[in-house]
Structure 1
Amino acid sequence: MSHTCTKVTLRQRAISKGRISLYLDYYPAVRHPETMQMSRREYLGIYIYANPKNEMERAFNGEMLAKAEAIRCIRVQALINEDFGFLDRNKMREDFLAYFLKKCRKKEQKWRIVYMHFSNYVQGRCTFGDLTVDLYQGFAEYLLKAKKLRREGRISHNSAAAYFSTVRAVLKLAYRDKWLKENINNFLDKIEAKQVKKEYLTLDEVKQLAQTPCEHEVLRRASLFSCLTGLRISDILNLKWEDFELAPDYGYCIRIKTQKTSTEATLPISYEAYELCGEPSTGKVFKELRRSMVNYPLKKWIQEAGIKKHITFHCFRHSYAVIQISLGTDIYTVSKMLTHKNVATTQIYADLVSAKKRETAEKISLK
């Protein structure tokens, strides 16, 4: 079966006011890959004088005809490469904010926060055609000075870095979905995160916390569960009884797909961690747990335990990693339990374990 090559011809059509409209004629017609409609003509929006009166008008006609011919050559090359993006002339006018919001629905809460900041920056209107390097670099500068959405103060430098990384991820998706003809990310500089101290609890402090009553018992159980498993708050909130299973060694495991990185993993947990989940049932494990509890209620409980450190719920994940490494668990295993994609990410916790550093320092002796 022979393949008929589409011929692209530059044609002219007389219109009003002594002008001629230039258009491309495709034969045979080409089919739009999304609408499946056949397309024969493409008007270029280029006009020339029907009867040029002077040298300037003749020169203008020559320049416009040259530009139209250049477009014709590009279209021929696109057809050979089976790149039909030029058929959709409305994409650049589509609402990028609507696309961004749609992507947020399957992502973690941070995506919605970034969406709200970006919407504020563009004053509620942004098409795909508006997306430029300058727009994004301006948004980076906006983030470095922006105020928090619901609380007092400005967002931290590292939060700005994370937010900018998220909005770049949306760009990557838009390019993958063929809404953009080029990946703008290739021309953007990221906001470099600053090294900050990761706060964590020692094993003795975790035990101290476990012995301190909490106003919200579900918060106490979920917090200690995080200390024993390293799970994030987002994954604990989504944890269901259906995610538990018995391993061949009759120990308990949980099958999760992390909300932050969409990583699927089967993680063994201790019986002590399993007991913190309460009576086996159906649906969510920590049913009464609310995100609002990890703010003031958590802070109050930490203070009542006599712990002076600034501890957030995410610090329980840090605590799990540091305690495991300090007790001799190898960094590769800890990395797998934390569902890190790169061991280098876990290496940060090894640097926090001063006890292991001291042990290393004492290993070499000349006495």
Structure 2
Amino acid sequence: MMSFYLDYYPGYRDKETMKVIRHESLGIYIYANPRNKREQNFNEVMTEKAEAIRCRRFESVVNERYDFFDKYKLKADFLEYYRKQLRKHDQKWEFVYLHFSNFVHGKCTFEEIDIDLCNKFREYLLSAKKLRRNGRITRNSASGYWSTFRGFLKILYRNGMIKTNVNDFLEKIETEDVMKEALSVEELYKLAETPCKKPILKTASLFSCMTSLRISDILSLCWEDIVDYSAGGKCVHIITQKNKAEDIIPISEEALGLIGYNSEKKGFVFKGLMRSWTQIPMKEWIRSAGITKNITFHSYRRTFATLQAAAGTDIRTIQSIMAHKSITTTQRYIKVVDANKREASKKITLTRQD
């Protein structure tokens, strides 16, 4: 048997793998020495198919080189392409992909990606059910998912995968203000004094309150990430899991004592900690401490910001520690303490002050 190959000269770069392609096997085989009419007919049919593929490949290369839109891209599997991009991004991308896959019932080509379809997906998100739990996703979650999807559309247009910059014609989903819980100083004391069935969960939670680390960074934190700080003492020096941004967080001696820091230790700081423990085990621990607020692990990060602000720490310093690109983000985290509100209310008076 003989097989068909395509030779490219001088070769072209595959934008998906970034490799220079010079040879391509078509996976088509013919008889080297056909012995009868049937084998001759088989060779003719396979040769025609190989020629059709050669013409299609040539057209694609020309379209790529001279900026014509390749019509064969339109027929490609959009969901398959989307799925391959997930490994480059955070978990939110996976959630958006799963919601979109549910929306289109598992089938979608690039040709179908237009303004109408995208707007229908927007409507879907506003009433979509949660993927892993009961109930519907919040409007703010829908807004975040929609923003991520629109960002993906921008990438597709920039990479020549779709003809129209669909994103320019799509309206964003406005977020809504919601009550976001944080622990008070007294509640933090209670939590520190209350035993937890998962001791490492308690340690990680309190450490997050003292450093503002997200659960993703807590899970990936290694002893080697705790290094000398330029201003003295120790700090956590990491690349955050969410934003892939450098973050340097000074650590107090109390926080170091909490985790049992030792410069000789290696590996994960919170070895054995499971993300799933932040659900039922953590909520049981919080209730046993007499705290009735709806506290999530992310609430510890908000607790850090709130208590730092209440203690008089400058908002720019808080922004730097929390690695926020915008101070507006930091402001959303900070809950003004009631006592501060009370003091503020006394500053405007109709009575002359001597």
Q: How high is the TM-score relative to the length of structure 1?
A: 0.74
Which of residues 260, 264, 272 is equivalent to 1:288? 272
Which of residues 291, 314, 328 is equivalent to 1:307? 291
Query: In structure 1, the residue corresponding to 2:237 is in which secondary structure?
Result: strand
Q: 1:293 to 1:34 in 2, by over 3 A?
A: closer
Instruction: Report the residue type matching 2:238 in the other structure.
Output: I
Residue 103 of structure 1 and its aligned partner are, at CA, apart by 2.3
Could you tell me how far apart the structure 2 residues matched to 1:275 and 1:120 are?
A: 47
Could you tell me how far apart the structure 1 residues matched to 2:317 and 2:134 are?
A: 40
Unpaired segments ≥5 residues, structure 1 = 1-28, 39-77
Show the 5 A alignment for 1:104-183: 104-183=86-165
Q: 1:244 to 1:177 in 2, by over 3 A?
A: farther
Aligned match of 1:57: none
Deviations 1:271-296 (A, max 9, x none): 22223333542222111111110000
Residue 161 of structure 1 and its aligned partner are, at CA, apart by 1.3
Aligned match of 1:344: 328
Which of residues 233, 254, 257 is equivalent to 1:251? 233
Query: In structure 1, the residue corresponding to 2:88 is in which secondary structure?
Result: coil
Residue 221 of structure 1 and its aligned partner are, at CA, apart by 0.6
Query: In structure 2, the residue corresponding to 1:266 is in which secondary structure?
Result: strand
Aligned match of 2:212: 230
Q: 1:324 to 1:229 in 2, by over 3 A?
A: same
Deviations 1:179-206 (A, max 9, x none): 2333221111111111101111011111
Could you tell me how far apart the structure 1 residues matched to 2:13 and 2:117 are?
A: 30
Deviations 1:47-88 (A, max 9, x none): xxxxxxxxxxxxxxxxxxxxxxxxxxxxxxx99xx9733164
Q: Does 1:326 align with 2:310?
A: yes
Q: 1:30 to 1:198 in 2, by over 3 A?
A: same
Q: How high is the TM-score relative to the length of structure 2?
A: 0.77
Instruction: Report the residue type matching 1:287 in the other structure.
Output: K
8 Å CA contact retained: 1:326, 1:355: no
Aligned match of 1:199: 181
Deviations 1:157-198 (A, max 9, x none): 211111111212222222333323332211111111111011
Residue 92 of structure 1 and its aligned partner are, at CA, apart by 2.0
Q: 1:322 to 1:87 in 2, by over 3 A?
A: closer
Query: In structure 2, the residue corresponding to 1:126 is in which secondary structure?
Result: coil
Instruction: Report the residue type matching 1:263 in the other structure.
Output: A
Q: Does 1:86 align with 2:51?
A: no
8 Å CA contact retained: 1:332, 1:343: yes
8 Å CA contact retained: 1:33, 1:84: no
8 Å CA contact retained: 2:306, 2:335: no
8 Å CA contact retained: 2:69, 2:163: no
Segment drifting more, 196-205 vs 347-356? 347-356
Aligned match of 2:3: none
8 Å CA contact retained: 1:32, 1:87: no
Could you tell me how far apart the structure 2 residues matched to 1:256 and 1:98 are?
A: 33
Instruction: Report the residue type matching 2:208 in the other structure.
Output: S
Aligned match of 1:317: 301
Could you tell me how far apart the structure 1 residues matched to 2:184 and 2:191 are?
A: 11
Segment drifting more, 350-359 vs 321-330? 350-359
Unpaired segments ≥5 residues, structure 2 = 1-8, 23-61
RMSD: 2.6
Residue 351 of structure 1 and its aligned partner are, at CA, apart by 5.1
Segment drifting more, 206-215 vs 29-38? 29-38
Residue 217 of structure 1 and its aligned partner are, at CA, apart by 0.7
8 Å CA contact retained: 1:331, 1:350: no
Query: In structure 1, the residue corresponding to 2:332 is in which secondary structure?
Result: helix
Q: Does 1:216 align with 2:211?
A: no
Residue 215 of structure 1 and its aligned partner are, at CA, apart by 0.3
Could you tell me how far apart the structure 1 residues matched to 2:115 and 2:314 are?
A: 43
Q: 1:100 to 1:221 in 2, by over 3 A?
A: same
8 Å CA contact retained: 1:242, 1:282: yes
Could you tell me how far apart the structure 2 residues matched to 1:182 and 1:193 are?
A: 27
User: For the pair shown, which has the larger CA radius of gyration, 1 or 2?
Assistant: 1
Query: In structure 1, the residue corresponding to 2:148 is in which secondary structure?
Result: helix
Aligned match of 1:15: none
Could you tell me how far apart the structure 1 residues matched to 2:333 and 2:128 are?
A: 30
**Once the two structures are aligned, what percentage of the paired residues are identical?**
48
Instruction: Report the residue type matching 2:332 in the other structure.
Output: I
8 Å CA contact retained: 1:221, 1:277: yes
Could you tell me how far apart the structure 1 residues matched to 2:158 and 2:118 are?
A: 18
Deviations 1:198-250 (A, max 9, x none): 11101111111011000001110110011001111111111122222111343
Instruction: Report the residue type matching 1:306 in the other structure.
Output: G
8 Å CA contact retained: 1:238, 1:284: yes
